[in-house]
């Protein structure tokens, strides 16, 4: 995908994620099970954490060529849990603000990247695709299934 196509896909999937998450009432956003054992709020904190993490991953890779290794699935699960726990005390409004702010920072960063950083067969291109639009889609679809199961 080109940079332009990637940015368009990110925007489309991001907006769809926000639309689906925003359809849950404040109370429904706190109900466990929306994404695995997470509620909608925890899922949004997770998405925000990975927008932040992408910036760090890509800065390191583009500066040094070092690819981030998170270890096995258990290590990634622990990282995800730690990321959510760091922000667990935020109010619902603060969660949404944090989500939007971290996404804006992510977009600003990737908008400044050169075209070759988006090549699908590159580490950076794969990271962007996997941790942005594919990630947003995955959690949106989880939330849609959760909503459907409750009706």
Q: Structural domain of residue 97, as residue ranges?
A: 3-25+32-149
Does an H or E element contain 137, and which?
helix 133-149
d(CA 135, CA 24): 20
Q: Which positions ≥6 away from 3 have C-beta within 8 Å?
A: 113, 115, 117, 118
Cα 85 to Cα 82, 90, 140: the distances in Å are: 5, 10, 21
Task: Average the pLDDT over 47-51 and give the result.
Answer: 97
Cα 49 to Cα 53, 71, 87, 104, 149: the distances in Å are: 6, 18, 10, 13, 27
The pLDDT, as a whole number, for residue 72 is 87
State how many domains the chain has.
1
Handedness of CA 90, 104, 62, 16 (dihedral sign): positive
pLDDT digit string, tens, across residues 58-105: 999 999 999 998 888 899 999 999 999 999 999 999 999 999 999 999
pLDDT digit string, tens, across residues 7-45: 999 999 999 999 999 999 999 999 999 988 999 999 999
- What CATH number is given to the structural domain containing 65? 1.20.120.450
CB contact at 8 A, 87 and 93: no
């Amino acid at each position: 995908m080109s940079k332009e196509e990637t940015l368009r896909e990110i925007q489309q999937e991001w907006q769809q994620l926000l639309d689906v998450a925003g359809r849950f009432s404040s109370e429904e956003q706190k109900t466990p099970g929306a994404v695995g054992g997470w509620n909608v709020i925890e899922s949004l904190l997770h998405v925000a954490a990975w927008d932040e993490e992408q910036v760090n991953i890509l800065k390191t890779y583009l500066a040094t060529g070092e690819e981030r290794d998170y270890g096995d699935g258990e290590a990634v699960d622990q990282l995800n849990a730690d990321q959510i726990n760091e922000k667990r005390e935020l109010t619902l409004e603060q969660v949404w603000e944090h989500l939007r702010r971290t996404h804006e920072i992510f977009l600003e960063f990737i908008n400044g990247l050169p075209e070759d950083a988006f090549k699908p067969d590159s580490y950076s291109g794969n990271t962007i695709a996997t941790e942005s639009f594919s990630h947003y889609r995955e959690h949106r679809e989880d939330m849609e299934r959760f909503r459907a199961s409750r009706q």
